[in-house]
Amino acid sequence: MSLQVGLPRRTISAVSIVGMDAEIATGGVVVVIDVIRAFTTAAVAFERGVTEIACAPSVEVGRGLRRLHPDRLLVGEANGLKPPDFDFGNSPFEMSTAQLDGRRLIQATSNGTLGLARCPDPAALLAVSALNVGATARWIASNHADIPRTLICTGRTAEDWACARYLADLLDGSAPAWADLVTGIMHGAAEHAHAYARLPASERVDLSGNLRFCCDVDRSEFAMVGEARKDHVVLAKVPC
């Protein structure tokens, strides 16, 4: 974790924290949040040398992109689990040990990448997890300080909402506590575990190897900035 410092206090535009069902206005800064696990996975992939991530709104669109670009690695999940034809699951732990330098990825997940695809004509579109929340706040403050911001929590569990509150406080010039964000992430993980426990063993997702990555606040010194394409969003790593 890096030194915890809030952004300088200033008069800023409004910040809205919403769920996936909200209607998103055009022309604002939109930040899509998925802590467990999509954008933690994406951040670790960028750390490992990935140059670009094409985020697909569905597994089917991801497979279509793979057919067009067979040199790209296909990453993600359906119902939480890696499809058999994918190269990697939706796992920051898997990314942390993979040979990825110079590679391009296609990522398809149930919440995070779907959330990116549903934002109409934003002034800026970003993906965030706890790993790069501070860098994301710095990028927004430097590039779009006077534009309204919408923070989309793609999941219903506690971790995305905790990350949204943390980011909103940073954008307001505060210095929120890492401990509160980590506590929110762990509460979310417990909610996931409770839901998985009701499923047959073959359908359960083991988060244990991934949680230490999901909780590593401000480890990544870059924003993940999106560019909308016809049927997907391309993320690029922007150092901050």
Please say whether the beta carbons of 112 and 127 come within 8 A.
yes
Task: Kindly report the pTM of this predicted structure.
Answer: 0.94
Paired with 226 in beta bridges are: 125, 235
pLDDT of residue 8 exceeding 50, the answer is no
For residue 154, give the CATH number of its domain. 3.90.1560.10
Domain limits for position 41? 15-239
Quote the DSSP letter at residue 8: P
Confidence of residue 119 (pLDDT cuts 50, 70, 90): confident
What pLDDT does residue 120 have?
A: 83
Q: Is 126 a member of any domain?
A: yes
Mean pLDDT of the chain: 94
Tens-digit pLDDT profile for residues 74-92: 999 999 999 999 999 999 9
Is 74 in contact with 87 (CB distance < 8 Å)? yes
Residue 87's nearest CA partner among 107, 101, 102, 69 is 107
pLDDT tens column, 173-222 = 999 999 999 999 999 999 999 999 999 999 999 999 999 999 999 999 99
More confident residue, 9 or 22: 22
| Phi, psi values for residue 133, rounded to 5° | -65, -40
Contact of 134 with 13, CB cutoff 8 Å: no
1 assigned to some structural domain = no
d(CA 199, CA 196) in angstroms, rounded, equals 5
Peptide bond into 37 cis (omega under 30): yes
Q: Is residue 150 part of a domain?
A: yes
Residue 9 reports pLDDT greater than 90 = no
Count the domains in the chain. 1
Q: Is it the case that residue 1 has pLDDT exceeding 50?
A: no
Residue 23 has pLDDT above 50, yes or no: yes
Sorted by sequence, the CB contacts under 8 Å of residue 212 that are 6+ apart come out as none
**Amino acid residing at 192:** H
Residue 148 included in any domain: yes
Output the six-digit token pair for 222. 């870059």
| pLDDT band per the 50, 70, 90 thresholds, residue 13 | low
pLDDT at 7: 43
